[in-house]
């Protein structure tokens, strides 16, 4: 269900040309296995991420919202999961992120500042590198590991032959209708991903390489160049808890909306639960009052459904394929944020259960 019309109509990137082989001629299962193994294939290129979700800016997550509501150009160099770099390019400069044996570094061109990120955050804030075609494709296909795929034939992407597969989720509760992945035939690296909501004709998220080469990048581009006059600092790596503020210390419920708790304490952050499996899984996390109020206000301005329920309030927004629900449990004065690629009916049910369980002082 859409609460607002698409703000941007996505067109297929100009570098992607017509299909050159009949659909169904690709062994989709074998291609899926190549995608899973592609994290060891070196490559480099320039990708464009086009998002058209009319998502309101969530408090303290402005950069995340921008990734799925506009156009982001990213240059990337990839050697291995332990050694890579991606640069987010804009009209005012660039912001470069490096992964090396010494950890992660970020260079801000405008500020001429290099920052070393130390530590491993339990739940990292999403960033542009997560939406590059290889990472996005591997993540979606792994999440929907039990769903079948079919072949799409071949087409040209970034001037190279790419073979395609389509994933149509079997789960009736997910808001994703299909995921199309195009894989560089020579290297097995995903070069184009299109995510289309259920019932829609056009994708709302397209990530495509416009330049691509399966070549190993040189050491010079994978090493942060700390200039003599550049500033330098060391900070803790940003995580979800840090972005949203102190989270709650409640025990997470064993189930919500008929979904069992799959991951407790959100990979290390107390009070965060991951429920369900596959593409219809969702996250429930407590947030500070000011974040809850700001999220509810942002949702209201975007046309969210605002309901007063016994002992609480539920604000739900569907921006296919993403659903966001803000919850207030009045008795314990607790706010929650529920997020997932699942129908808002499911998240609203989870919200009312959270309110009831909070009232019982679980």
Rounded Cα–Cα distance for residues 286 and 302 (Å)? 22
Structure confidence at residue 6 (pLDDT):
25
CB–CB of 143/167 below 8 Å? no
Percent of the chain with pLDDT over 70: 74
Residue 15 DSSP SS3: coil
Angle at which helix 28-37 crosses helix 133-143, to 10 degrees, equals 120
pLDDT by residue (tens digit) across 109-133?
766 777 776 655 444 556 788 899 9
pLDDT band at 277 (very low <50, low <70, confident <90, very high): confident
**Among the ranges given (192-206, 253-267, 326-340), the one the predictor scored with the smallest mean pLDDT:** 253-267
| Rounded alpha-carbon distances, angstroms, from residue 241 to 61, 244, 267, 281, 316 | 11, 5, 12, 20, 22
Residue 351 vs residue 287, higher pLDDT: 351
Residue 360 pLDDT exceeds 70? no
Q: Which residues contact 343 (CB under 8 A, 6 or more apart)?
A: 1, 173, 174, 175, 280, 318, 323
Structure confidence at residue 234 (pLDDT):
65
Structure confidence at residue 15 (pLDDT):
35
> Which of 212, 248, 224, 267 is CA-nearest to residue 103?
224
Rounded Cα–Cα distance for residues 335 and 49 (Å)? 32
Across the chain, mean pLDDT equals 80
Domain ranges of the chain: 20-236, 245-359
Burial annotation 315-344 (CB, 10 A radius, 16+ → b, else e): bbbbbbbbbbbbbbbeebebbbbbbbbbbb
47 CB-side CA count, 13 A: 30
Rounded Cα–Cα distance for residues 207 and 47 (Å)? 7
Structure confidence at residue 163 (pLDDT):
97
Rounded Cα–Cα distance for residues 181 and 36 (Å)? 12
- Mean pLDDT (whole number) for 214-241: 72
Structure confidence at residue 203 (pLDDT):
93
Strands (E), 214-289: 231-236, 255-256, 259-263, 273-275, 282-287
CATH 2.50.20.10 fits 20-236, yes or no: yes
Structure confidence at residue 249 (pLDDT):
53
Where does residue 266 fall: left (phi above 0), alpha (psi -120 to 50 degrees), or beta otherwise?
left
Rounded Cα–Cα distance for residues 182 and 109 (Å)? 33
Residue 198 vs residue 301, higher pLDDT: 198
pLDDT band at 66 (very low <50, low <70, confident <90, very high): low
Q: Which residues contact 153 (CB under 8 A, 6 or more apart)?
A: 19, 20, 21, 22, 23, 24, 25, 26, 163, 164
Residue 3 pLDDT exceeds 50? no
Residue 206 vs residue 239, higher pLDDT: 206
CA 59 to mean position of chain CA atoms: 17
Rounded Cα–Cα distance for residues 294 and 287 (Å)? 11
Residue 79 vs residue 273, higher pLDDT: 79
Judge if the upstream peptide bond of residue 191 is cis by omega within 30 degrees of 0.
no
Residue 2 pLDDT exceeds 90? no
Residue 139 vs residue 361, higher pLDDT: 139
């Amino acid at each position: 269900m859409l609460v607002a019309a698409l703000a941007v109509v996505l067109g297929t990137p100009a570098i992607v040309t017509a299909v050159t082989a009949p659909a169904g001629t690709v062994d989709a299962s074998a291609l899926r296995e190549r995608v899973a193994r592609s994290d060891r294939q070196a490559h480099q290129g320039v990708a464009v991420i086009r998002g058209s979700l009319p998502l309101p800016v969530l408090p303290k997550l402005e950069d995340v919202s921008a990734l799925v509501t506009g156009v982001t150009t990213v240059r990337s160099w990839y050697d291995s999961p332990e050694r890579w770099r991606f640069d987010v390019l804009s009209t005012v400069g660039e912001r470069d992120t490096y992964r090396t044996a010494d950890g992660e570094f970020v260079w801000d061109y405008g500020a001429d500042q290099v920052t070393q990120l130390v530590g491993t955050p339990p739940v990292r804030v999403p960033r542009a590198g997560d939406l590059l075609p290889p990472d996005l494709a591997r993540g979606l296909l792994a999440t929907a590991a039990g769903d079948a795929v079919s072949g799409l034939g071949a087409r040209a992407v970034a001037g190279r032959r790419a073979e395609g597969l389509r994933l149509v989720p079997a789960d009736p509760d997910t808001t994703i209708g299909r995921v199309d992945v195009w894989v560089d035939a020579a290297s097995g690296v995903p070069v184009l991903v299109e995510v289309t909501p259920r019932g829609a004709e056009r994708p709302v998220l397209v990530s495509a390489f416009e330049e691509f080469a399966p070549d190993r990048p040189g050491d010079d581009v994978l090493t942060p160049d700390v200039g003599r006059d550049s500033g330098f600092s060391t900070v803790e790596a940003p995580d979800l808890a840090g972005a949203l503020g102190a989270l709650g210390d409640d025990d997470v419920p064993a189930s919500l909306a008929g979904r069992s708790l799959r991951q407790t304490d959100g990979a290390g952050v107390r009070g965060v639960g991951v429920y369900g499996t596959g593409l219809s899984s969702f996250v429930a996390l407590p947030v500070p009052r000011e974040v809850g109020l700001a999220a509810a206000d942002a949702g209201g301005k975007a046309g969210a459904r605002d309901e007063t329920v016994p002992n609480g309030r539920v604000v739900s927004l569907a921006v296919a394929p993403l659903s966001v629900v803000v919850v207030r449990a009045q008795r314990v004065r607790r706010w929650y944020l529920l997020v997932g690629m699942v129908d808002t009916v499911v998240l609203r049910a989870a919200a009312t259960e959270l309110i009831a369980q909070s009232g019982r002082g679980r």
